[in-house]
Amino acid sequence: MLEHRSQIEVRYSETDMMGIVYHGSYLPWLEVGRTGLLAAYGLPYRDLEAAGFYLPVTEIQLRYLRPARYGDVITIRAAVREKPAVRLRVDYLVCRDSEVLAEGHTRHVFVDKPGRPRRPPPAFVELAEARFPGA
């Protein structure tokens, strides 16, 4: 398993006229969580793209349990629970202190610049082997 916690503070621009955070504003937060996780394991996403590996989102699923508000300090807990290969699933909890505000997952596929699926880079494969032995 891979896991990581990232923290952000809610920006005014992320709210809407309902007085709470716009539901679409969570997607960049999940991304902060996801890229934080990759970086924590030595694979900054910026370097992946520089090496010709892209990880577009192929699915997003998110349930909203409680509203987030302007100024809240939000923790994004991202985890990889299944051994990744050309496909990758990341699970998330979006929390304010001990409260879970949202939970969901994203799915991704490694592709090359033109968008064709490709094997992940060796460093990623090694990490997957080390963290999910026998899987």
Residues 121/131/30/123 CA torsion (nearest 10 deg)? -20
Is residue 117 a contact residue for a second copy (CB under 8 A)?
no
Q: Which of 4, 20, 110, 120: binder of a second copy (CB under 8 A)?
A: 20
112 is a catalytic site residue: no
Choose one: 13-21, 73-81, 84-92, 127-135; the region binding a second copy (CB under 8 A): 13-21
Min separation Cβ 63 and a second copy, Å: 5
| Of residues 38-97, those binding a second copy (CB under 8 A) | 44-46, 49, 54, 56-64, 67, 70-71
Q: How far apart are CA 37 and CA 18, in angstroms?
A: 31
55-69: buried (b, 16+ CB within 10 Å) or exposed (e) per residue? beeeeeeeeeeeebe
φ/ψ (deg, to 5) at 126: -60, -45
Answer positive or negative: Cα dihedral of 40, 42, 47, 53. negative
Kindly tell me which residue out of 11, 81, 87, 119 binds a second copy, with binding defined by CB under 8 A. 11
Q: How far is the CB of 58 from a second copy (least distance, A)?
A: 5
Task: Please give the helix or strand (H or E) that residue 87 lies within, else none.
Answer: strand 87-96
- Residues classed as catalytic: 16
- Which residues are near a second copy by CB under 8 A? 11-20, 22-24, 27-28, 31-32, 35, 44-46, 49, 54, 56-64, 67, 70-71, 115
